[in-house]
Amino acid sequence: QVQLVESGGGLVQAGGSLRLSCAPSGNTASITGMGWYRQAPGKQRDLVAFIHFFIGGGNTNYADSVKGRFSISRDNAKNTVDLQMNSLKPEDTAVYYCNAQYYNGRTYSYWGQGTQVTVSS
């Protein structure tokens, strides 16, 4: 079992920056990767960024819409996965969810409670 606690959402003007942080707890040794997804009203939940813990020394994936603006990283000292969001646009407005992929013979997916990011124009 894994629990995820997110922090760092809020309201920012277009062009501004926010940093989201996700702290896992529980059986974290079996987590193989973590990422951030977002869901805007009336839309599906989509991948924003993901970091693999054991593939390629920390391989990352990004949605095309955030490449060059967002950066995902793992802070081993704080035991968090952070999403640095720069040059924010109104279309980035959504609830952002932290996700952890957990493997113990089968793959499980865990979700945080979500944090609201609102970008005003």
- C-alpha–C-alpha distance, residues 40 and 44, integer Å: 7
Per DSSP, the residues of 30-54 read GEEEEEEEEE-TTS--EEEEEEESS
pLDDT single digits (tens) 100-120: 999 989 999 999 999 999 999
Which residues are 38's β-sheet partners? Answer: 46, 96
Q: Which residue has the tokens 């059986």?
A: 27
Mean pLDDT, all residues of the chain: 95
